[in-house]
């Protein structure tokens, strides 16, 4: 373990990531047709060396999200505001909404179709609050009925739409009814 230097003294994020990238072994794959290709004799297989991947944190409108990127893209990523570590926990947490130990956990429903199993996370309360600030405009209609929705209701609404769009047969078997056409078009 290296010394924990004072904040201003440590190596730059870029230097740390590049060092990590160099320590990450390159992944050699066969039969991968992207990137540099070397035809392997008369067998016709293609050998391709991919750069190792490093985990960085990409800024999004919903906070920073974990991403695995090729080590060769590290410099460009940092210039674009990506971070070396998660700004919430300071570590290398995972990319699921509930994977960061410091972030508030979000409730979710899981799609019941076995081949799918998509997790539908409730959106965070602050997303609703952010939308509400627009209501400072006196011409904006305030509708508190949306503020009173619950995680259960919100995720049910999203999962019903997911079922109708992605698994129409299972949806009708489960008795999920299509909402008014107008609502479907807004998805
Ligand atoms: Zn985190
Ligand atoms: Zn599904």
Domain positions in the chain are: 13-22+49-102, 106-131+148-180
Alpha-carbon 100 to chain mean position: 12
Ligand 1 centre to CA of 111 (Å) is 26
**Distance (Å) from CA 95 to ligand 2 centroid:** 20
Two structure tokens written together for 151: 């995680």
Q: Is residue 49's pLDDT more than 50?
A: yes
Question: Per mean pLDDT, which of 126-130, 139-143, 149-153, 179-183 is the most reliable?
Answer: 149-153
CA of 102, nearest ligand number: 1
* Residues less than 5 Å from ion ligand 1, measured at CB: 86, 88-89, 93, 100
Ligand at shortest distance from the CA of 109? 2
Q: Which ligand has its closest atom nearest to the C-alpha of 164?
A: 2
Is-above-0.95 flag for pTM? no
pLDDT of residue 35: 46
What spacing in Å lies between the alpha carbon of 8 and ligand 2's midpoint? 48
Query: Alpha-carbon distance 2 to 155, whole Å?
Result: 45
Q: Check pLDDT > 70 for residue 92.
A: yes
Q: What is the pLDDT of the chain when averaged over all its residues?
A: 76
């Amino acid at each position: 373990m290296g010394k924990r230097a004072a904040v201003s003294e440590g190596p730059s994020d870029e230097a740390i990531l590049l060092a990590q990238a160099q320590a990450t072994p390159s992944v050699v794959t066969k039969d991968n047709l992207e990137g540099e290709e070397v035809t392997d004799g008369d067998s016709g297989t293609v050998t391709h060396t991919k750069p190792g991947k490093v985990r960085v944190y990409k800024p999004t409108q919903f906070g920073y999200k974990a991403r695995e990127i090729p080590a060769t893209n590290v410099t460009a990523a940092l210039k674009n505001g990506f971070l070396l570590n998660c700004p919430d926990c300071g570590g290398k947490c995972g990319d699921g909404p509930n994977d960061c130990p410091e972030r508030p956990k979000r409730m979710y429903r899981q799609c019941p179709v076995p081949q799918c199993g998509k997790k539908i996370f409730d959106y965070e309360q602050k997303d609703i609050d952010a939308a509400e600030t627009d209501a400072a405009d006196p011409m904006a209609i305030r509708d508190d009925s949306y503020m009173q929705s619950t995680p259960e209701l919100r995720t049910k609404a999203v999962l019903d739409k997911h079922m109708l769009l992605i698994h129409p047969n299972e949806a009708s078997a489960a008795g999920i009814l299509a909402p008014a056409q107008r609502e479907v078009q807004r998805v």
